Amino acid sequence: MSNHLLQVKDATKTIGKATLLHPCTLTAGKGEIVALCGGNGAGKSTLIRMIAGISSLSGGSVSLDGIRWTENRLAYAERIGYMPDEFQFGSALTAYETLSFYAALRRIGRDRVFELLETVGLLEVRDRKVSTFSKGMRQRLLFAQAMLAKPPLLLLDEPTNGLDPYWMESFGRLIRQAASDGQAVVFSTHQLNIAESYADRALFMSSGHVRYSGDIESLKKEYLSEGGLYGAFRSLVTDKEERIRKEG
């Protein structure tokens, strides 16, 4: 039996004649952090929504802890803490009320709500309406929501968007702690420095294709003279895309 918690095998997504995601294979084990790297339109969010069970697969399979969401949606969902790229909270709710709502859905107690509000730096503003929050504050609340139940898999779509340098560093510390506690973390980012600093493995994606999948430390060593992960991404993705455009 595989020791991978998450297994994505040849997953594809098509809408009409458009292919949003070409065959993609991804695994993540307990205690592992995997970064999906690429620009806008690379296919990162499409892949994350398919793993979350929000978007159906056109082909291939996704399983979590041996469970497919098409077979047991509740058991599958209970194993995921999902943070979307963009989300509109209820305009009349405070930060405390918002997180308490999600805690009730997860059957999580009040102490955990206060713990996470403090963890993401929102305890002192817990009674403010979320509609008054900055982008970074909303991101931190979304992250707290994902962490509520300490799920086996944290699935985070562009989690550092809108964060200042302090909270970017804090994000890295928190996902490393989650990994050390045995959780798997999969997050998307267009910021290669975030992937380089905190992830164990990376998928380089562009135009719905996976251009590379592997170990970050090996990439950094191989492309050390070319700027580490930036040089690797440029060689494996950017330059390849430019060649394709010229040939096409």
Which of these three, 95, 128, 150, is where a domain ends?
Answer: 150
* CB neighbour list of residue 7: distance below 8 Å, 6 or more residues apart: 26, 27, 61, 62, 63, 64
**Residue 1, pLDDT score:** 35
Instruction: Please indicate, yes or no, whether residues 229 and 106 belong to a single structural domain of this protein.
Output: no
- Structural domain including 91 reads 86-150
Q: What percent of the chain has pLDDT over 70?
A: 94
Question: Got the DSSP string for 105-153?
Answer: HHT--HHHHHHHHHHTT-GGGTTSBGGG--HHHHHHHHHHHHHTT--SE
Q: In this structure, are residues 106 and 149 in contact, taking their beta carbons and an 8 Å threshold?
A: yes
Instruction: Please indicate, yes or no, whether residues 172 and 237 belong to a single structural domain of this protein.
Output: yes
Number of other CB atoms surrounding residue 102 within 10 Å: 18
Residue 13: which of 5, 23, 3, 4 has the closest Cα? 23
Q: Summarize pLDDT for 121-165 with one digit per residue, the tens.
A: 999 999 999 999 999 999 999 999 999 999 999 999 999 999 999
The CA angle 146-79-21, to the nearest 5 degrees, is: 80
What pTM value is reported for the model?
A: 0.92
Q: What is the mean pLDDT of residues 6-15?
A: 97
Q: Which residue(s) pair with 189 in the sheet?
A: 37
Instruction: Please indicate, yes or no, whether residues 57 and 115 belong to a single structural domain of this protein.
Output: no
Q: What is the mean pLDDT of residues 82-101?
A: 90
Number of other CB atoms surrounding residue 214 within 10 Å: 14
Which of these three, 150, 168, 193, is where a domain ends?
Answer: 150
pLDDT of 4 over the 50 cut: yes
Q: Summarize pLDDT for 166-202 with one digit per residue, the tens.
A: 999 999 999 999 999 999 999 999 999 999 999 999 9
Q: What is the mean pLDDT of the chain?
A: 91
Question: Got the DSSP string for 145-194?
Answer: HHHTT--SEEEEESTTTT--HHHHHHHHHHHHHHHHTT-EEEEEES-HHH
Q: Indicate which CATH number applies to the domain containing 211.
A: 3.40.50.300
**Residue 24, pLDDT score:** 97
**Residue 20, pLDDT score:** 96
- Look at 92-96, 116-120, 237-241 and tell me which has the smallest mean pLDDT: 237-241
Q: What is the mean pLDDT of residues 25-54?
A: 95
Cα separation, 110 vs 20, whole angstroms: 41
Instruction: Please indicate, yes or no, whether residues 177 and 202 belong to a single structural domain of this protein.
Output: yes
Cα separation, 151 vs 170, whole angstroms: 19
Cα separation, 27 vs 204, whole angstroms: 14
Which of these three, 105, 129, 150, is where a domain ends?
Answer: 150
Instruction: Please indicate, yes or no, whether residues 67 and 15 belong to a single structural domain of this protein.
Output: yes
Q: Summarize pLDDT for 226-240 with one digit per residue, the tens.
A: 677 888 888 888 766
pLDDT of 246 over the 60 cut: no
Residue carrying structure tokens 């950094």? 220
pLDDT of 40 over the 60 cut: yes
Instruction: Please indicate, yes or no, whether residues 39 and 140 belong to a single structural domain of this protein.
Output: no
Instruction: Please indicate, yes or no, whether residues 165 and 205 belong to a single structural domain of this protein.
Output: yes
Instruction: Please indicate, yes or no, whether residues 56 and 158 belong to a single structural domain of this protein.
Output: yes
pLDDT of 225 over the 90 cut: no
Domains: count for the chain:
2
Instruction: Please indicate, yes or no, whether residues 169 and 219 belong to a single structural domain of this protein.
Output: yes
pLDDT of 243 over the 60 cut: no
Residue 144: which of 131, 127, 156, 129 has the closest Cα? 156
- Look at 16-30, 80-94, 145-159, 219-233 and tell me which has the smallest mean pLDDT: 219-233
Instruction: Please indicate, yes or no, whether residues 159 and 234 belong to a single structural domain of this protein.
Output: yes
Instruction: Please indicate, yes or no, whether residues 178 and 235 belong to a single structural domain of this protein.
Output: yes
Instruction: Please indicate, yes or no, whether residues 74 and 100 belong to a single structural domain of this protein.
Output: no
**Residue 248, pLDDT score:** 52
